[in-house]
Structure 1
Amino acid sequence: MNTHHLRKQLRQQRLRLSKRHRNRAAYQARRGLNRLQHPALTGKNVKIGIFADAFGEMPTQPLMDWARQRGYGIYLPVVTGKHQPLVFIEFSQKTWRQSRLPRHPLGMRQPEQGKMVKVAALDVVFMPLVAADKIGNRMGMGGGYYDRTLAKAKNKPLKIGWAYDFQLVDKLDSNPWDIKLDALITPSKLWIFRRYLVELSHAKK
């Protein structure tokens, strides 16, 4: 199946899920967060990039609740232009519930104002995806925003995907400019794609 048809099929499959199914999957996936062990998550003033689900993705409210309970700073991606890198705006208590976020013309939900940072200032970024494969290749919505943003960053954060189990496929076509995931969290499993993360994970158990 080519990239276009796979993207279309998986997006439709996401949209067919009931709200109950989506929420249950997200809370199951949250358990995988407790297995994440990495120095980026243990320092002071940890900054986490988290997207607000808007296109049928697995809900990120449990992910935000987890980050908030740990005292992490939460930053949401903001599109500033079609070919511009993403910037990230701090998610304040005023706009804590995602339902209050306004929608961008492209459909994503994002804050309108707040403390703004570049992706290089983040310690971890949770990335939306349509599909991922078993070596960390990622298929996004097709806009290339995350690939462009991360390609220009000298200091890249830990890159973690957040998705349903059916979004993991055996193999994706990839390009030299595609940015791979370091890990993926699904309702049933924490997938580690980088050896140094495997070693850290085992050492911390």
Structure 2
Amino acid sequence: MAEYKGNKEFRKKIRQEILKQRRTIPDEDAYKAGLNIVKVLKEHPFFTSKKIVASYVSTGGEISTSPLNDYLLDAHDLILPFININVKGSMDFYSFKKGDPLIENRFHILEPENKKENLIRPDLIDAIVVPLVAFDNRGNRMGMGGGYYDRMLKKISAECLLIGIAYDFQLIDNVPTESWDMPLDEVITPTAHYIYNKKWP
């Protein structure tokens, strides 16, 4: 894909092109891609001990997080995002256990219940699996444009590992960045593992 400059129209064009392609991915292929992501994480040195890991529920042709979330439920402490509709761009993470309900929000995304006792402070999170629309070879990420993750990533500890998961076609030459954008430490695709900032011994 051609290199784009950092203005709103170019960002919009990138999103439209990639989301259009992503929506054509059959569910079976999205699930297989998710299995490949899990294979990498199971061998990842960072995850040899139990961690508090934030994930999400995939939608719209994204790589399926179902295999990933099953793995995290078994081997780690899984937490999931909840969008606060009362505060623009605000998102929190809540613990999620097997059998807990998921509720569809106004964006048709499944979320955990926002029970106060299940709220996880951002500084306690060991790793966050971050959704994305596009990424580049410097770890720059383009999201959906709501700014939810960019705001959250400014609250976490410096040791928290930020991992993006994406299809190979979501890699572009240059992601237009803004001052508030937070780069990723790693990106895992079905065929590759990109490491930009190593956060383990």
For the pair 1:22 / 2:30, whether they are aligned, the reply is yes
Aligned length: 190
> In the TM superposition, what are the counterparts of 1:40-119 in structure 2 within 5 Å?
41-43=47-49, 46-70=51-75, 72-81=76-85, 82-95=87-100, 101-114=102-115, 115-119=118-122
How much has 1:84 moved relative to structure 2?
A: 4.7
Is the 8 Å Cα contact of residues 128 and 161 (structure 1) preserved in structure 2?
Answer: yes
Which structure 1 segments of 5+ residues have no match? 201-205
2: CA distance between counterparts of 1:181 and 1:26? Answer: 19
How much has 1:112 moved relative to structure 2?
A: 1.8
With normalisation by structure 2, the TM-score equals 0.86
For the pair 1:12 / 2:20, whether they are aligned, the reply is yes
Is the 8 Å Cα contact of residues 30 and 187 (structure 1) preserved in structure 2?
Answer: no
Q: What's 1:37 paired with?
A: 45
How much has 1:33 moved relative to structure 2?
A: 1.2
Is the 8 Å Cα contact of residues 119 and 156 (structure 1) preserved in structure 2?
Answer: no
SS of 1:3 mapped into structure 2: helix
Is the 8 Å Cα contact of residues 103 and 110 (structure 2) preserved in structure 1?
Answer: yes
Indicate how the Cα distance of structure 1 residues 58 and 166 shifts in structure 2: closer, same or farther if over 3 A, else same: same
2: CA distance between counterparts of 1:84 and 1:140? Answer: 13
2: CA distance between counterparts of 1:134 and 1:31? Answer: 22
Q: What's 2:7 paired with?
A: none
> In the TM superposition, what are the counterparts of 1:130-145 in structure 2 within 5 Å?
130-145=133-148
Considering only aligned residues, what root-mean-square deviation do their CA atoms show, in Å?
A: 1.9
Is the 8 Å Cα contact of residues 29 and 189 (structure 1) preserved in structure 2?
Answer: no
With normalisation by structure 1, the TM-score equals 0.85
How much has 1:69 moved relative to structure 2?
A: 2.8
Q: What's 1:203 paired with?
A: none
Is the 8 Å Cα contact of residues 22 and 59 (structure 1) preserved in structure 2?
Answer: yes
Identity %: 31
SS of 1:94 mapped into structure 2: coil
Query: 1:133-188 CA deviation, whole Å, 9 max, x = no partner?
Result: 11100000110000011123455621000111111112111112100100011100
Is the 8 Å Cα contact of residues 86 and 119 (structure 1) preserved in structure 2?
Answer: no
Which structure 2 segments of 5+ residues have no match? 5-9
2: CA distance between counterparts of 1:29 and 1:112? Answer: 26
How much has 1:85 moved relative to structure 2?
A: 3.1
Q: What's 1:149 paired with?
A: 152
